[in-house]
Amino acid sequence: MADKEKLTMVVFSGDFDRALGAFIIATTAASMGMDVSMFFTFWGLNVIKKNTGPIKGKGIMRKMLNIMNRGGSKRLKLSRFNMLGLGTWMMKELMKDIKHPTLDDLIKMAQEMGVKMIACTTTCSVMGLTEEAFRPEVESLAGAAYFLGEARNSKATMFI
């Protein structure tokens, strides 16, 4: 039997709008029968951080970083027109108005559809994050070699 066609994404950005784009693509691709891998790195780790509870980090600098850069799908901001949160709120209202799934809905749907969500080991080490920092939909931590193994066998690879 032929393998399923693969789609691979690096989610580097922690912007609300880019995260939304990534998950719309991921869930659509999964619904078309593709095998989807999302590799979260740098600010993109914010997209898959759990929304509640503290995020720990060893040492003063990592503690500070994880307070300033708290993350979680509910805290993400638009890359433009955030306007102290007003723009991001407005965008969510507009999505509700057309009954578009929220980012949180999309993350859950993605997991149910078999989309693999992986956190980048290297940026986790730099930022002092362990598996505990992430939501349950996240499968595991892995490095750039894992991502490239997926990318080289993919029909399309995107850096978001």
Q: Interface residues with a second copy (CB under 8 A)?
A: 5, 7-8, 10, 12, 14, 17-18, 21, 24-25, 28-29, 31-32, 34, 41-43, 59, 61-62, 64-65, 68-69, 79-81, 90-91, 93-95, 97-98, 100, 122, 125-128, 143-145, 147-149, 151-160
Name the residue nearer to a second copy (CB basis): 23 or 134.
23
Name residue, tokens 């003063």: 60
Name the residue nearer to a second copy (CB basis): 80 or 136.
80
> Comparing C-alpha atoms, which of 130, 126, 114, 143 is closest to residue 55?
130
Cα→Cα distances 157→22, 39, 149, 151, Å: 12, 11, 11, 6
16 within 8 A of 87, measured Cβ to Cβ? no
Minimum CB–partner distance for residue 151 and a second copy (Å):
4
Minimum CB–partner distance for residue 123 and a second copy (Å):
9
